[in-house]
Structure formats: structure tokens, C-alpha cells
Amino acid sequence: HISGVGIRPCPKVTNEEIKIFKKEQDAAETKKSSSRSSVSVPLYATEGGEDPSKKIKTLAQAFNNMGRAEMDRRIGRFFFASSLPFNVARSPYWKDVATGLANCNLSGYVPPSSEKLKTVILAEEKANIEKLLEKKKFSWIQYGVSIVSDGWTDIQRRPLINFIAYSLDGPIFLKCVDASGEYKDAEYLKGLFIEVIKEVGEDNVVQLITDNAPVCQ
């Protein structure tokens, strides 16, 4: 037995043996302390047992919110600098643009130039609209069409006359005539209606609908 641990020393143990035992005991204590210090520490400290992944998500969400706020400011600056009316933001086409940019992964995408907008893209969209209108016009042959006319004055005090074709498939704007300098009597209106009827097709026209102006009665 080793002296000093609560029992009487053994008279058979020499001082040399006590030194050897003491050395081995110190080595064991050192090894035990080293194993305790090597316990892994979480990369992110948690409080109350909180999941570290939640903190990571919260941080990512914060950066995401910062990015959204910055994009909002850029959009606002575009509206303000271009003097765009705020109701443009209600346009479904504007929302379609924003959704498309957010969902597609077009790294390095550059918006079209003004030259491309007024040439290539405008021509493509015109062709697309005409293709959509052809489907509506086909219903004129099956169900007929009504020609609707309405006169009004714009902010420049110009007398304008609208012509719209209305069928079961919905209305189609045909044209707007500027009647400035014209004497808007029955003969003048008759000539305009004849042109529109020929454009729509005489066999397709069911009726003519006008406003309650005296010249139309």
C-alpha cells in the first residue's frame, strides 16, 4: 500500500517502489484529464437545447430579406427615375416579368436594349397577338359579330370614334378614327361603318350598336 491515502504504510514497500507507483498514478491522472478535454464542442453554441440548424436557417433568411429589400429599392428607383405611374405595378405582365426573373437561372442575363425592344421583340409580340386574334375571329363565322361604336374626346380635345367587334369569344378593338376637321353627320358615320363592315366581313355582322348621339338616331 502507498502511504498517505488513509491507511497505515506497509513496512515491506521500499521508497523506490513508492516512487514507481506514484509515477504510474500521475500518468493515469494525466491521461484521464486529456480524454475529458478532447470532448467535441458543437460548432454553434445552443441555448435551451435549440437546434443549430435553426440558427443557420435564421441567418440565411436574414440575408434573403436583405436581398429582397435591396431589390425593392432598385425597382422603386426604376419607377421613380422613369416617371412610371405606380399602377404599372398592378399589371399582370409586370408581375410575370418579376416571377420569371426570380425563378429562372439565367446567370449573366442582360435585359434587351431599346433598339431590340422596338424592332425584334415588338415584331414578335405583334405576330403573337395577331395569332391569338385569329382564333377569336374564327368565331365570327360561326356565331356572328356585333360592331360597337362610341364617340369621345381625349385630353387634347380631339373628337375620336372607337370601333369594337364583339362576339361570344370576347371583344376585339378594331380601330380609332380621329374625326378632327370632319363634319360628323350621318353620311360621314355611314362611310366609317361601311369600311368596318367590309373589314369584319359582311356575312358575319349581326348588328351595329352606337351611342345615343343625335346623329346616330
Ranges of each domain in the chain: 14-111, 133-216
Enter the C-alpha cell of residue 191: 362611310
Whether residue 25 is predicted with pLDDT greater than 60 in this model: the reply is: yes
Lowest mean pLDDT among 24-33, 41-50, 74-83, 124-133: 41-50
Whether residue 47 is predicted with pLDDT greater than 70 in this model: the reply is: no
Name the CA dihedral angle for 189, 194, 196, 198, rounded to a multiple of 10 degrees: 180
Average pLDDT, the chain: 81
Return the pLDDT at 1. Answer: 45
Query: Per-residue confidence at 56, pLDDT binned at 50, 70, 90?
Result: low
Give me the amino acid identity at 31: K
Match domain 133-216 to its CATH number in 3.30.420, 1.25.40, 3.10.20, 1.10.10. Answer: 3.30.420
- Asked if 1 and 10 touch (Cβ cutoff 8 Å), the reply is yes
Whether residue 197 is predicted with pLDDT greater than 50 in this model: the reply is: yes
